[in-house]
Copies of this chain bind each other. A is one copy, B any other.
Amino acid sequence: MQPDNSLDNSHLYRFLSENGVFNVGPYGFPTMQSMCSSSSSSYHNYPLEGSIITDMTPQDRALAALKNHKEAEKRRRERINSHLDKLRSLLPCNSKTDKASLLAKVVQRVRELKQQTSEIPGLETFPSETDEITVLSGECSSDGQLIFKASLCCEDRSDLLPDLIEILKSLHLKTLRAEMVALGGRIKNVLVVAAEKDHSTESVNFLQTALKSLLERSNSSDRFKRRRVLDHKLIMQ
Residues on A close to B: CB < 8 A? Answer: 2, 4-5, 7-9, 76, 79-80, 83-84, 86-87, 90-91, 99-100, 103-104, 106-107, 109-114, 156, 158, 161, 179-184, 187
Separation of A4 and B91 alpha carbons in the complex (Å):
42
Contacting residues, chain B, for A4 (C-beta < 8 A): 7-9
Nearest B residue to A83 via CB reads B103
- How many copies make up the complex? 2
- The reply to whether B83 and A104 contact each other, CB–CB distance below 8 Å, is yes
CB distance from A85 to the nearest CB of B (A): 10
- The reply to whether A79 and B91 contact each other, CB–CB distance below 8 Å, is no
CB distance from A3 to the nearest CB of B (A): 9
Contacting residues, chain B, for A103 (C-beta < 8 A): 80, 83-84, 87
Contacting residues, chain B, for A79 (C-beta < 8 A): 100
Contact of A106 among B5, B83, B183, B187 (CB under 8 A): B83
Nearest B residue to A180 via CB reads B181
Contacting residues, chain B, for A90 (C-beta < 8 A): 107, 110-111, 114
Nearest B residue to A66 via CB reads B1
Q: Most chain-B CB neighbours within 10 Å: which of A91, A100, A109?
A: A100
18 contacts between A and B (CB under 8 A): A4-B7, A76-B100, A79-B100, A80-B103, A83-B104, A83-B107, A87-B103, A87-B110, A91-B110, A109-B110, A110-B113, A158-B183, A158-B184, A179-B179, A180-B180, A180-B181, A180-B182, A182-B183
